[in-house]
Structure 1
Amino acid sequence: MSLIAIKDVSLTRVETLFTGLSFSIAKGDRLGLVAANGRGKSSLLRILAGEDDATTGTVTRRRGLIVAAAPQDPPERLLSLSFHEAVRDALAPDVAEIESWRVDVLLDDLLVDDSIRGRAIRRLSGGWQRTMLLARAAVVEPDLLLLDEPTNHLDIGRIGVLERFLAALPRDCAVVAASHDRAFLDDVTSRTLFLRPEDSADFSLPYSHAVQALEERDAARERQFENDMRKVKSLRQQAAKLKNIGINSGSDLLVVKTKQLSERADQLEERARPAHLERSAGTIRLTNSGSHAKALVTINNTAITTPDGRVLFRIGPSWIENGDRVALLGANGTGKTRLVERLRAALTASDPDIRGATSLKLGYSDQALSQLDAFATPWEAVKRLSSLPDQLTRSQLAGAGVGIDAQAAPISRLSGGQRARLAMLLLRLAQPNFYLLDEPTNHLDINGQDMLESELIAHGAACLLVSHDRAFVRAVATRIWVISEKRLVEVDDPAPVFDRLMSG
């Protein structure tokens, strides 16, 4: 018997998120859940967890099924608790009283340092909060573990810990992971469900192979639809011709034949279905204002330090040329963000060891999208950074996925995906020729990641990016910088670096 079975389920909020959805989850399944931002992944996980109801359809659970979920953000009531207390809180009081050792064993498995275990959740980074939510879900020893964007805010090393932890779960424990991290999905899942408003698709394949199968299926259905519509057109042309002949000749047989042809055309047209057309959550478009300078950024011998002066790593003579797309890799705490901050400060002010070309125009985005905090609303952000007329402002925001009703609302009300796309719109309006991007794929769905990759490559703008998204780095980077043994070195292939960082 399945752990859980979904039959003809639909969910409607402001719009229909999905309909006619049927699938089941068996013991040991590893299912990746894929959809664009705002298309119902989190809602489906809540339905599976029994925390929300579908609009129509049935959800059947095996008797005694234990389901545990790790959501994207911790609930308010946990923020004042320590990491250890928040995980222990997931246990029933009687179990926590006699088996609290389970928490310590689990935190050992997740490589959570003692210094982290006693800190309040509100004082921890997003990555450690994600780890706490995973631990809360796992400590109850569930039959079905539900993960909502589990790699967001995790560096590559912590993603490695997560993947090893999931691989070590009991064989019977099923996992459903809603994620935009393509490499993670390939590593941990063997099945992929593409969630769509209609005609969702379930393949017994990891993401990369599943998306190829989906594209082939959609292409075949589009060919079938076009063929069916050609037949419909031909039948109607024949019916019209026979009708004219029948009217002129007075033949009842031709009138009957005409009716039969028209009915066949109607039936075929009613059955014909066009292939699914994915509606984008918002377009990402960038630009490159260009520069005649060969080297946009020149770095002399220098050291990257902590605020109190401790050396994190040293850099020998380095430069970023026009068109270079440099990915910066390194373990957590080695100084990636400190280098980004140093570069940003040097390129907006002055630095004796880091110099930007006179023609350099900087476009900057950090992983928290804090550049948006300077604006009250999306409308204000665009109007302050551009001279666009009102109608074009509305159009640009709508194209980026910020609808008319959200354009004058506080930015804080936007979803993570909308905030990310708004940040990309503001970058384009700044018309940079050098992009400094810290975790730019955070909150972007796979379609958004593909658009960002294509735009960076197509326009040839120079950039330095920090990213834990292995697929994104492989697709975009032309150069790889690595922080290793307190030195910045350049390597040709990121694969060994990824392997080393993932293995810890």
Structure 2
Amino acid sequence: MSLIATRALSLTLGLPLFAGLNLNLNAGDRLGLVACNGRGKSSLLALLAGEIEPSGGEITRARGLTFAHVSQDVPPAMLARSLAEAVEAVVPGEEWRAGIALDALEVPWELRDQPLAALSGGWQRTALLAQAAVLEPDLYLLDEPTNHLDLARIGVLQGWLAGLPKACGVILTSHDRAFLDAVCTRTLFLRPEASRDFALPYSKARAALEIADASDARQHENDLAKADQLRRQAAKLKNIGINSGSDLLVVKTKQLTERAEKIESAARAAHRDRSAGAIKLDSAEARARALLALDCEVRVPGDTGPLLFRTGPKWIGPGDRVVLLGANGAGKTQLVNAVLAACQGTPLQGVKPAGSMVLGHAGQMLEELDPKASPFALVTQYLADQSARSQLASAGIGPDWQGKKLGLLSGGQRARLMLLLLRLRRPNFYLLDEPTNHLDIEGQEALEAELQTQGAAALLVSHDRAFIRAVGTRFWWIKGQKLEEIDSPEPFFASQAMG
């Protein structure tokens, strides 16, 4: 049974986002929607929800279809309510439904009466999901549902999606590749033209997409070669016809030229994403055998804060990319802050950066970036004007955005700017807290490749399993009140009920 279908759907918002989209979602389908930042994923969900109008094409919905659209943003009016009140308001007088939804999403009782404004982005996201669940829709439209969730909460979300009724449909967007693999049965790669849909989870669909694109590239080359051959034949006949005065050869020349033009106009080049900007890192040479040595206690902030864990003797040498693992609240951020403070000249007992360390730090909220500064002003601290403009453009920040205040830029643009600034500082030790938070899949893969290519030392915190698996060479797990080194992140993922 078809829940929703599109025919030749197109949308242009300044630039063409997609065109000719034919999509048929059946009951029970779990469709992952994949595209780079700003390429129309959220807009497509809004179209399917009837919130905006398409530029062309049609949308057909099953009779009586009910759906819930969970956007990325929390309505400001909702923040003044408690978490439970916000969910109960969806169906007034039937509070029991809200209770069932909150139980299914494993929301602790002590959080339900707290104002949403006082809760983290992850719990606000959970409240939006609970509001959708109360409606018991036939179709969920979920825009970045894993945003702000730690690994444990992503595990709960995966379990919740798996427990939905079999006939319920889901269309979701996400940059979390492991999450897409775990929950999706189909993957749609949204493109300006010729979007591709595979009945496969993300990783298998990505491999199928590469094969299909390679086939398109070969076909395009063959078509152009055939058109070129026809044009050469036409040129020879034209010369013969002119010399002989043969009208028949002139007509034949025209026919060959028209066939070549037809083939050229029909030939479709293989798809290439309009890159949102290259991510390049540049590491200074590290001379110290240990760039960072640890043997300290990590406590809750405050002079007499309770102990979170002891590191024991630990060290990070050149080329080590250490991933810090732990449940939410275990103390990962406190350790990152302790290392950052020591590197910035605040002595801390048991935290010893080497004298040769050149630090590159990026916090998960990109707090190092002054929201009132412009990208151009920040980069010209390191480069001359023209070179700065070129580097910003290569990082996906075009001329129209280079002079604007950072507060106006998207999260993806600010993340790429932060990584560009890191490269210009030429660190030999990266301290990165959730570096993929604002990056699309293309950006994540580019960052992974750069960290691997540069061979830089790093201490990383991330909730992105694909990123952790790709870049980590060593793994530290905050377990109980001890920091243990483990051979693989998989035992930690398993402890968080993750696949």
Name the TM-score, length of structure 1 as normaliser. 0.96
Task: State how far apart, in whole Å, the 1-side matches of 2:301 and 2:245 are.
Answer: 96
* Equivalent residue letter for 1:380: A
Q: Mapping of 1:398-437 within 5 angstroms?
A: 398-437=393-432
Q: CA deviation at 1:118?
A: 1.2
- Could you give the per-residue CA deviations for residues 224-266 of structure 1, whole angstroms, max 9, x where no partner exists? 1001111111111111111111222223332232222222211
Matched, 1:371 2:368: yes
Within 5 Å, give how 1:463-474 maps onto structure 2: 463-474=458-469
Cα distance in 2, alignment partners of residues 427 and 433 from structure 1: 10
User: 2:301: which partner in 1?
Assistant: 307
| Equivalence for 1:332 | 328
In 2, Cα distance between the equivalents of 1:394 and 1:502?
46
Q: What does residue 438 of structure 2 align with? A: 443
**Unaligned 5+ residue runs, structure 2?**
none
Q: Which moved more, 1:176-185 or 1:44-53?
A: 44-53
Alignment equivalent of 2:287, drawn from 267, 292, 304: 292
Deviation at 1:401, TM superposition (A): 1.6
Alignment partner, residue 341 of structure 2: 345
1:35 partner amino acid: A
| 2:301–2:334 contact (8 Å) kept in structure 1 | no
Give the C-alpha shift of residue 15 in structure 1.
0.7
| 1:236 has 2:231 as partner | yes
Distance of 1:443 and 1:503 partners within structure 2? 22
Q: Which runs of 4+ in 1 moved over 4 A?
A: none
Could you tell me which residue of structure 2 aligns to residue 43 of structure 1?
43
Distance, in Å, in 2 between the alignment partners of 1:140 and 1:153 is 23
SS in 2 for 1:373: coil
Q: CA deviation at 1:374?
A: 6.0
Distance 1:74 1:390, change over 3 A: same
Alpha-carbon distance in 1 for matches of 2:421, 2:128: 33
| Map of 1:20 onto structure 2 | 20
Q: Deviations over 1:113-138 (max 9, x none)?
A: 12211111111111111111111111
Q: What is the CA–CA distance in structure 2 between the aligned matches of 1:333 and 1:88, rounded to whole Å?
A: 28
Deviates further, 80-89 or 446-455? 80-89
Q: Distance in 1 between matches of 2:69 and 2:119?
A: 20
* Cα separation, 2, equivalents of 1:140 and 1:78: 17
AA at the equivalent of 1:312: L
Give the Å deviation of 1:55.
Answer: 1.4
**Map of 1:108 onto structure 2:** 103
* Contact map agreement 2:371 2:405 (CA 8 A) in 1: no
Match of 1:278 among 261, 273, 279: 273
Kept in 2: contact 1:314–1:487 (CA 8 A)? yes
The whole-number CA distance in structure 2 between the counterparts of 1:254 and 1:404 is: 53
Q: Secondary structure at the match of 1:111?
A: coil
How far did residue 495 of structure 1 move? 1.4
State the Cα deviation string for residues 439-476 of structure 1 (Å, max 9, x = none): 11001000000100001010111001011100001100
2:359 maps to which of 349, 358, 362 = 362
Q: Would the aligned equivalents of 1:323 and 1:461 in 2 still touch at CA under 8 Å? A: yes
Q: Which amino acid is the alignment partner of residue 84 of structure 2?
A: H
1:3, 1:62 within 8 Å by CA — same for their partners in 2? yes
Contact 2:371-2:406 at 8 Å conserved across structures: no
The match for 1:89 is 89
Taking the aligned partners of 2:254 and 2:300, their CA distance within structure 1 comes to: 83
Give the whole-Å Cα distance in 2 for the aligned partners of 1:130 and 1:470. 20
AA of the residue aligned to 1:364: H
Q: 1:255 matched to which residue of 2?
A: 250
Whole-angstrom distance in 1 between the partners of 2:77 and 2:102: 21
Residues 188-199 of structure 1 mapped to structure 2, 5 A cutoff: 188-199=183-194
Structure 1, gaps ≥5 residues long? none
- Distance (Å, rounded) in 2 between the aligned partners of 1:456 and 1:503: 25
Over the matched positions of the two proteins, sequence identity in percent amounts to 57
Q: Aligned equivalents of 2:8 and 2:371: distance in 1?
A: 45
2:113 corresponding residue in structure 1: 118
Contact 2:292 2:316 in 1 (8 A): yes
Which amino acid in the other structure matches residue 462 of structure 2?
Answer: S
Residue of structure 2 in register with 1:52 after alignment:
52
The 1:80–1:344 alpha-carbon spacing in structure 2 relative to 1, beyond 3 Å, is same
| Residue 314 of structure 2 is aligned to residue 318 of structure 1 | yes
Distance of 2:277 and 2:478 partners within structure 1: 35
Distance 2:228 2:245 in 1: 25
For the residues of structure 2 that align with 1:409 and 1:175, how far apart are their CA atoms?
A: 38
8 A Cα contact 1:159 1:502, kept in partner? no
| Amino acid aligned to 1:346 | A
2:15 counterpart letter in structure 1: E
Q: Specify the SS of the correspondent of 1:32.
A: strand
Match of 1:153 in 2: 148
Change (3 A) 1:374 1:14: closer
- Deviation of 1:381 (Å): 2.3
Asked if structure 2 preserves the Cα contact closer than 8 Å seen for 1:192 and 1:207, the reply is: yes
Q: Aligned-pair distance for 1:90?
A: 2.3
Indicate conservation of the 8 Å contact 2:309/2:481, yes or no: yes
Describe the superposition over 1:58-116 as per-residue Cα deviations: whole angstroms up to 9, x where unpaired. Answer: 1111122111011112011111111111112222xxxx21x211111211111111221
Determine the C-alpha separation between the residues in 2 that align with 1:194 and 1:404: 28
Residue 178 of structure 2: aligned partner = 183
Aligned length: 496
